[in-house]
Structure 1
C-alpha cells in the first residue's frame, strides 16, 4: 500500500494546522483558523496524531494544484526551461526566453508552494516533541521531516541563491520582516540537517512506507548539495556510502521503469506518491499524443535528440553510422524511450505520426504540436484509465544518478580514473539490458567530462535534473543562448517552402536567451518584496 493512500479528509483537516502559522508570504496561509477544522491546540495528543501530521508533510497536492519541486508537471517543467523542449502555452518557456520578471506566476508558484511545504515541516518539528510516544519512532519521524525540509531548501538555494532560512513557524509580523540568508549559510544548514538526519533514517523501507525518506535518500540529496558547491571529495565519499549499502540496483528495462508497475523498483531512491481515484496527478493528459487522447502539450527540441549517441557509442558528429537523411536510425535505444519520432514510435497500438502533410491530430504545425516530437518517457503502456486521474508515482532520484555523480565527483576531485571505476559506474548505467550501449573506456579527464555530461543528459531527460546540472557546470549560457529546432522536415532544405527550416532541414522553433550575471538566479516574487522591504531583489530584475 502506498504511504499516501490515506483518506484525503484527514489530510484536509491537517491542512488547517499548517495554515495556522506564517512564512515569508502574506497569501492565504495567513487566513483565520476555520472553526470547522482542527487546530494545533486540539490536535497534537498522541502517536496517531503524529503519524497523520508526518504524512501531511508530504501532502503536496493532487490533480492540478501542486507547483513545487516535488510534483510531476513542475519537475518536468524544469527540463523544458533548461532547453529540452517547450509547451504550446509557453508556461515554462517564459523562465528562460529572456522575458522573466518578478511578476511571472510560474517562478512565483515554485517559491510560494515550496515555502508552504516548509511551513508544514516546521509546524511538525515545533510540536512533535510534545507528544509522548516511542522515542525511536519519534526520532525517525524528526529525521525524515528534516530531510524533506532540506530537500526543499536545496531547490530554493539553487534557483534563488540567498533565501530566508526559516526553521520554525513565525507570526505574521515576523514573517513579513525576515531577510534573505546568505546562500553559503543555507548550504551549511542543509548539509548539517542531512548528515545528522541520515543517521536516524532506515536503510530500507517496507513497501507499505513507500515514499518516505531513507538513509540513502538523505545522502543522495546531500550529494547534490555538495556537487553544487564543487566539494568533489566530500561528494564522492557520500555517494560511496550509498553504493556500499548494496540496497539499489539498475533495472534491465528502461522504458517500463517509468510505468506504474515499476514504482517499487530498487532503482528508485525517492518518488512523489500518487494513488488513482484518490490522490492522483494529470501528467498523462499533458503528455499523451492527441491520437491517444492526450493534449501533446510538451514538445522536445532536436537539440536534445542530437545528444543521443549512435549505437557504436560515438556522437552523431563522429559516428560513421549516422545518416543525416535518416537521423533517427542506429541511435542509443534511450532516444525512442524518451522522445516519440514521426513514423518510428508507437504507443498502445498507434503509430506516432507528426508528418505535417498527414491528417494526424499530432501533425507538425497544429496548435500544440510545434516541434513534431512528443515526450515518450512516462507514457505508461499498461495504463488504460482516465488520463487526468493517474496514480503512478513520479521518480525524483534514481540510482543511476548516484553512480554517475560518484564518477564525476571522483574525476573532478583529481582521483585516478580506472576502467574498473568506469565499469562500476557509467557502464552499469549504459549496460542495462534494454539499452546495452558500448562500454566507456575513456580516462582522459577532458574527454570523459563531456561523456559524463552527455550521459546524464540522455539518462535523466525530463526528470527535472538538467537545470541543476547546467547551473553547476556553468554551461547554462551556452546551452540556452540559441535557436532551438524541431523534427526533420526535409532532406532538401534549400527548396523546402512549407515552413522555416535550418540548413539541415529541421524545423526552426523557439529561441532562448540567457544573460550571464542575471539569469543564473530567478527573481524574488514582486508580491513578496512589496510586503517585506527586507527582501532585496536579485540583480537584473
Structure 2
C-alpha cells in the first residue's frame, strides 16, 4: 500500500457514490407526464406491485447485518472494529474513531463512526415501510411469506443491535411520514427484548428451515439470534437480581436451535470453518468484493502482517494471546501446564495456531511471497526487532504494534496481493456459539454437568483431547468465559461479553499490551511485554451515548454518565 490515507479517501468516495446511485434507484421519477420511466430505476408504486421489486427492496435491508467487507467507517458494519473496542485487539489506524472509546474520552459528541443510532433507525424505517406494504403485493403467497419473515428478522436484528449498544430504545413499528410525531419515548430494556423475541418467533414461523440460497435468512437464524438476545438479557448487566427464569429462557432458546438437528460442529479444520460454507454455519452474510486495490476491503489485505504487504489493521492483544491455554487444555497460569514464557508459542491450544500469526509462524504459500525469499528470508513471520514484519521491516507504517496479526478468516490458498476472491462469508451465527450459550445458561441454572458436556464438545473439536472434569463454581464459570474468548475471537462477541458480564471495568481499564521480541546473537529470542495503548473505561461506557443532536431533537433521556 503506497499511500494508505489517500487510498482510504478514494474508497470512501467510491462508497458514497455507490450509495448515492442506490438511493437514486428507489427515487420517484419526475411528475412531468412526458417523462419516461428509466429502465434502471422504479417508482414507489411499481415496487409494491411486483414481488421481484419487493424482494430487491428487502435485499437492500440485509445491509443491517455485518459482513467481511471493511468499509472503513461504514456505521452499518462494525464487524471487525468491535475487536479493537475491547481487550481483544488494537486498531492500527483509528478506524471508526475507536480511540475516543479506548481512551475513556467518549461523549455524546464524539462517538463518530462507532455510533450506529441513525443508520440503524434508517433501516428500521425501511423495514416498517416494507412490512406495511408487502401483504398487498400480488404474486406467490409462499414467496411473499418468506420475504415478510426475512424483514421481520432484519428489523428485530436492528433493534437487537440498538439495545446491545444503548439499552432501552424507542420502539417504532410503523413508517414515519412528514406528519409523524418523531418524539417517541424510550422503552425499557426488558420491553425491547420482549419485542425482539416476539418478532423473531414470528419470523421463525414464516421462514423455511433450509434454503438453497446461501446467505438468506432461515428459521434457524431467527432462533439463533433469539438465543443470543435472551442470553444477554439474562446476564448481570441487565439481570441485576439474577432472576433464574431469565436463564431458563436463555437455555431453552439455545436448546431449540440444537434440537433442529440440521447443524453440526465442523470438525474437518477449524481454520476452514471461516473460509468455507459448512455444516456449522446457521446464519451468514456474503460479501461480493471488487478487486482488492480499488475496494480496500479484502480480509487478507487488512489482517496480514506488513512484511507480506498486509496492513495489520486489527492486531491481537497480548491478553488475547494469553487466553489460549496449552495443548492439553490447561491455563498457562497453571503451574503444571509446562508453559514457558520465553518459549511462548510452543505447545499451545490448537486454536492458537489457527487464529494467530505470531513470530516464526509460516504464513501463506512460499510462491506468494517470493520477494521475502529474494531478501534472504522465508514465509515465516518475523515480528522480532529488525524482522520483515517489525516496525523496522517492510511497509513500516503497517507494522503490527502488538507483534501479532489474526490468521482467522484469512484464506491463505490464494495470493491476495494479485488475485481477487468473491463471496467471502461473515458468520453471524454458528453452532459453536449456540453450544457456548447453552453451556453458560445451564451453568447458571445449576446444571454444571451439562455445561461441561457442551464445553468439552467445543474443545474436542478444536483438538484438545483431555476433557474437562471436576470443575465447579467460579472455576467453571471462568472456563466458560475463557472458551468464548478463544473460540469466538474476531467474531464480534468479546466487546459485548465483557459488558454483559459487568467485568469491562477490569478488562478494559488497563493498558493494552503487546510484545517486543529481541533476536539474540546465539539465535535465541527474548520476549519483553510492553504497553501499546493506554485504555480507560468509565462506568458509563457499559453503554454508548445517544448522539447529542438526537437527544436535542427528540428530548430522549440520555444514558447515565453522559452530560
TM bucket, shorter chain: 0.7 to 0.9
Query: What's 1:339 paired with?
Result: 356
Q: Distance in 1 between matches of 2:388 and 2:142?
A: 63
Distance 1:215 1:278 in 2: 34
For residues 51 and 388 of structure 2, the distance between their equivalents in structure 1, rounded to whole angstroms, comes to 60
TM-score by length of 1: 0.84
Rounded Cα–Cα distance in structure 1 between residues aligned with 2:550 and 2:63: 24
SS at match of 2:223: helix
2:452 is matched with: 422
Moved more, 36-45 or 362-371: 362-371
Post-superposition Cα deviations, 1:172-215, rounded to whole Å, max 9, x if no partner, equal 56364333332222111101111222122211221xx1112212
Which stretch has the larger CA shift, 48-57 or 388-397?
388-397
State the partner residue of 1:28.
Answer: none
Instruction: Go from structure 1 to structure 2 and tell me whether the alpha carbon gap of 1:11 and 1:39 turns closer, same or farther (over 3 Å shift).
Output: farther
Match of 1:30 in 2: none
What is aligned with 2:137? Answer: 131
Give the structure 2 partner of residue 539 of structure 1. Answer: 560
Match of 2:260 among 245, 249, 272: 245
The answer on whether the counterparts of 1:285 and 1:387 sit within 8 Å (CA) in structure 2 is no
Counting only pairs closer than 5 Å after superposition, residues 240-319 of structure 1 correspond to structure 2 as: 240-252=255-267, 253-259=269-275, 262=276, 264-277=277-290, 281-318=297-334, 319=336
Please give the secondary structure, in 2, of the residue aligned with 1:124: helix
Q: What corresponds to 1:3 in structure 2?
A: none
**Shift in CA distance, 66/203, structure 1 to aligned 2, threshold 3 Å:** farther
SS at 2:104's partner residue?
coil
Matched, 1:398 2:447: no
Q: How far did 1:67 drift?
A: 2.9
Which consecutive unaligned segments of at least 5 residues does structure 1 have?
Answer: 1-8, 21-33, 493-500
TM-aligned CA deviation for residue 105 of structure 1: 4.9
Cα distance in 2 for partners of 1:343, 1:10 equals 42
- Displacement of 1:522 in angstroms is 0.5
Distance 1:42 1:141 in 2: 17
Separation in 1, partners of 2:291, 2:184: 37
For structure 1, which segment, 162-171 or 464-473, has the greater mean C-alpha deviation from structure 2 after superposition? 162-171
| Deviation for aligned residue 1:277 | 3.7
Judged with a 3 Å threshold, the aligned counterparts in structure 2 of structure 1 residues 168 and 478 are, in CA distance, closer, same or farther, namely same
Structure 2 CA distance for aligned equivalents of residues 440 and 514 of structure 1:
34
Do structure 1's residue 357 and structure 2's residue 386 form an aligned pair? Answer: yes
What value does the CA root-mean-square deviation take over the aligned residues? Answer: 3.0
Determine the C-alpha separation between the residues in 2 that align with 1:165 and 1:175. Answer: 13
Distance of 2:388 and 2:233 partners within structure 1: 51
Q: TM-score, normalised by structure 2?
A: 0.81
Q: Mean alpha-carbon deviation: is it higher for 154-163 or for 11-20? A: 11-20
**8 Å Cα contact 1:102/1:524 also seen in 2:** yes
Q: How many residues align?
A: 496
Distance 1:210 1:79, change over 3 A: same
Equivalent residue for 1:458, pick from 471, 474, 486: 486
Secondary structure at the aligned position of 2:80 is classed as: helix
**Deviation for aligned residue 1:239:** 1.2
Instruction: Report SS of the residue matched to 2:206.
Output: coil
Query: Is contact 2:384-2:519 (8 Å) kept?
Result: no
- Give yes or no for the alignment of 1:219 onto 2:229: no
Offset at residue 472 of structure 1 (A): 1.3
Q: Deviations over 1:205-264 (max 9, x none)?
A: 21xx111221211111111111112111111111111111111111121112122xx1x2
Equivalence for 2:204? 198
